[in-house]
Chains A and B, each alone.
Chain A
Amino acid sequence: MTMSSAKTTEKPRGAKLDLKVIGPIVALIVLILIGMSLNPNFLSYANITNVLARSAFIGIIAVGMTFVITAGGLDLSVGSMAAFVAGLMILTMNLLTDSMGIGVDVILIGIALSLVAGLIAGLVNGLLITKVGIEAFIVTLGTMGIYRSLITWLADGGTLSLGFEMRELYRPVYYGGIFGVTWPIIAFFVVALLGEIVMRHTAFGRHCAAIGSNEKVARYSAVSVLKVRLATYTLLGLLVGFAVVMYVPRLGSASSSTGLLWELEAIAAVIIGGTLLKGGFGRVWGTVVGVLILSLIGNILNLTDFVSPYLNGAIQGVVIILAVVLQRSRSTDR
């Protein structure tokens, strides 16, 4: 131990550190170059806006996931949770339309409900993990099944749709914007920026990393491990609710296939961005880069007929595994 440590000390650290930091950025730039060479429309305003707006849901969730994973946790339920919250929101708004009519107040209630429902769902996950002491993987695997089943039941196996007029009124939240930037992109940017600041410059972010790195050390240093951990899951739930607020106006509907595999994409984005899956180190900007990498892969496949878009998942899978292999090779012989 003492020895191998001496070894790492003497290594030229600069070069190693740089690669670690810029790895995901290099991958992103390479992808953009590939996209540009394959299709001249790749960098068009319409395409970029489209890619970024579609990334926003997973992106907002992935920012929350970064905190959960950094603190040594995991949440598999976010995709189902999003579908369930979306269904709840649509049902409530339709119900309120009957009594209150079409109006912004119904939308505001719907938004509040979505945020609160997400927060509560996250809180439930967190309480089961921290207070009851069940492993995060098991708890969220369970709630994943529960929420998925509940949305299927709520929609009676079909699709829950927002009333037509309500949909028209709510639509601008996804499609509108200012200065040509749509709201989902702005929301994603703001959440990511705040997340980065919280992770790097606040006690909460530092505590998450400490807990993920060594829970016992954190506890002996008077960090309230359970509270911080609970907060990470609750924050993630709240962000899922926020993502739903952006998602519902896009299609105006929710079904049993809403948010399918979002949890895996969010986790993958976090890992590609350089956050350690075992916890202890996380960076939000890396997660943003990870989200963009995953979206661009899909986008490039759609824009070219070089490779079938049906292979999207396969290529994303290869990227995820590569990212983890790279992560491992730089944290060996500790």
Chain B
Amino acid sequence: MGGAYAMTSPILALEGVSKSFGPIEILHSVDFALRPGEIHALIGENGAGKSTTMKIIAGYLDASGGKVTCDGAPATFTSSREAEARGIVMIHQEFNLAEHLGVDQNIFLGREIKKGWRLDHAAMRQKTQELLDQLNCRIDPSQPVSSLSVPDKQMVEIAKALSRDLRVLIMDEPTAVLTERECEILFQQVERLRDQGVAILYTSHKLSEVKRICDRVSVLRDGAMVKSGPVSEISEDEMATAMVGRELTDLYPAKAIPQDKILLEVENLSVPGKVDHASLHLRRGEVLGIGGLVGSGRTEFAEAIAGLRKRSGQVRLNGQELPADDVRAAMNAGLVYLTEDRKGAGLLLEKGLRENLTLPYLEQFGRPLIDRHSEEAALEKAIADFAIRVPSPDMLVGNLSGGNQQKLLLAKTLLNDPQVIIIDEPTRGIDIGTKQQIYDLIAKLAADGHAIIVISSEMPELIGLASRALVMHAGHVVGEVAGEEVTEQNIVRLAMGLTGHGEDAA
């Protein structure tokens, strides 16, 4: 796989590159090379320096020390634009697309093809069509980007990159928002680009993915390159150990044994157009998984249970009926939902940790005036309990790493010691060390008698945590697996709609 190119000279190389912000050096003498026809994985925990490295390569940042070479000559890109002109393109985790413009308008944004002083719409549309065909992507060039699914948006980003003589493609966790099937489509495209001689830098928290599609892997830890070599010679365990800097024992803790008492009953819950007569029940001490593809209605199902959406059907907690579309009532009754959209719906990125932590339960911190001291005490406790790493307690939440944001969001959601906790994508975009902490926390909560629902796109996570799992497909609960039957194969079959169908739902 790509072996033919392996020893060719690099397009882009970092030699002894360091980077400081103010007095603090966060990259220490990093060597890194991207060769044509090679997929090079860059992995590391949150805050290890991956993003900085990528941004130096893509021309968004200057190195403080060391050499960046492009085609053997020293390169100092003054801007990402200059880097792009040389075929070095970065696809950000949050896409850089103008939502209201069409696909073609996005692809040629800033580089429009003109006929005299007028835009040549036909030419741009045709070129876009060619690029999309090349990617086997069946979307209409004139469609507005806002109407596209997440994976299609990613294809538009790739098409945009292709439109300018792509030589180096930098992908920042491209699969974080994709389901497994969508990942497969992405992998095919990435491999095709590799075979065409593009040098690809790939970051991901999913090591199985790295193993699956990358040719070479480099591991960053605390700003230093600790391991680098062909993927074929490094096992997933070795990668994880290199990232974390210690041996990782079993990633998933022992599963708690559910008690008999049923805590939550949901009957015939429907959300128009999203969820159709879905039911579930949940015992004290149980971890129930909900699987299914993105768009299968699992998030909408959870949000409707938590009072965040209009719904029909019954939700009973401890036999007590919860009103629809009333988050406050659900929270006060002891049922909380932790969103999958950490940055968009979970935390106020422009505010401090304290304001975020206490927001849902402000009235408990004094009325009419908020008692600042009890808030700070709560924050101190949360930082200690959840092992949140903060350089300074008054920093903005947006400046925290993903893992620490997730811990803060957990602390916020669990502030009032709820009985039922619904966690949507508990570990999206966070590193393996933090993942393990969160898994331990979930197991501990269950052992203490809480009831937990975990929604996840990551199969190993569902399998590792849940003692029973529901699978959703197109708004229906299409099946349930328990105990030994909670396997990847069973869940995937159900999620794809292979066995069982809508009829089984009710």
Which of A's residues lie within 8 Å of B, judged by CB? 1-3, 5-12, 197, 201-203, 206-207, 209-210, 213-214, 216-224, 280-281, 334
Contact = CB atoms under 8 A, between A and B. Distances in A.
Contacts of B52: 3, 6
Interface in B53-88: 54-55, 60-61
Top 4 nearest A-B pairs (CB, nearest first) are: A10-B21, A203-B362, A10-B22, A3-B51
A220 B370 contact: no
Contact of A223 (B337, B345, B359, B402): B359
Given A213-B350, A217-B345, A219-B308, A12 B362 contact: no
Given A201-B370, A220-B339, A9 B391 contact: yes
Interface residues of B, number: 49
B399 interface: yes
A218 B26 CA distance: 34
11 contacts: A3-B51, A6-B21, A6-B26, A9-B21, A10-B22, A10-B26, A11-B21, A202-B368, A219-B327, A220-B346, A222-B360
A203 B355 contact: no
Given A202-B368, A210-B355, A213-B351, A222 B399 contact: no
Q: Is the interface of A mostly helix, strand, loop or mixed?
A: helix
A202 B359 contact: no
B464 interface: no
Contacts of A202: 368-370
Given A201-B370, A203-B367, A2 B51 contact: yes
Nearest to A200: B370
A203 B61 CA distance: 41
A2 B401 contact: yes
B363 interface: yes
B395 A206 contact: no
A22 B324 CA distance: 47
B323 interface: no
B151 interface: no
Nearest to B306: A220
A290 B395 CA distance: 27
B369 A201 contact: yes
A217 B346 contact: yes
A206 B370 contact: yes
Contacts of A209: 351, 355
Interface in B314-372: 327-328, 331, 337, 339, 341, 344-351, 355, 359-360, 362-363, 367-370, 372
Given A206-B370, A334-B398, A220 B350 contact: no
A8 B370 contact: no
Contacts, number: 102
B93 A1 contact: yes
Given A1-B93, A9-B391, A201-B370, 8 more contacts: A3-B52, A6-B26, A9-B21, A11-B21, A11-B22, A209-B355, A213-B348, A220-B327
B162 to A, nearest CB: 24
B92 interface: yes
Contacts of B331: 222
Given A206-B355, A220-B339, A3 B55 contact: yes
Nearest to B329: A222
A281 B359 contact: no
Given A5-B398, A206-B355, A206-B359, A222 B21 contact: no
A10 B349 CA distance: 17
Contacts of B400: 5
B24 interface: yes
Contacts of A210: 348, 351, 355, 359
Contacts of A220: 308, 327, 337, 339, 345-346
A244 to B, nearest CB: 27
B260 interface: no
Contacts of A217: 344-348, 359
B449 to A, nearest CB: 24
A262 to B, nearest CB: 30
A216 B344 contact: yes
B484 interface: no
Contact of B21 (A7, A214, A216): A7
Given A3-B55, A222-B360, A203 B350 contact: no
Contacts of A219: 308, 327, 345
Nearest to B370: A201
A221 B356 CA distance: 9
Contacts of B337: 220
Contacts of B350: 213, 280-281, 334
Given A1-B92, A197-B369, A220-B345, A9 B399 contact: yes
A6 B396 CA distance: 11
Between B22, B24, B400, the greatest number of chain A beta carbons within 10 A of the residue's beta carbon is seen for B22
A207 B391 contact: no
B362 A207 contact: yes
B343 to A, nearest CB: 9
Contacts of B370: 201-203, 206
Contacts of B339: 220
A118 B61 CA distance: 54
Given A7-B21, A9-B391, A206-B355, A214 B344 contact: yes
Contacts of B61: 3
A11 B331 CA distance: 39
A210 to B, nearest CB: 6
A138 B308 CA distance: 28
Nearest to B400: A5
A281 to B, nearest CB: 7
B55 A5 contact: no
Contacts of A280: 348, 350-351
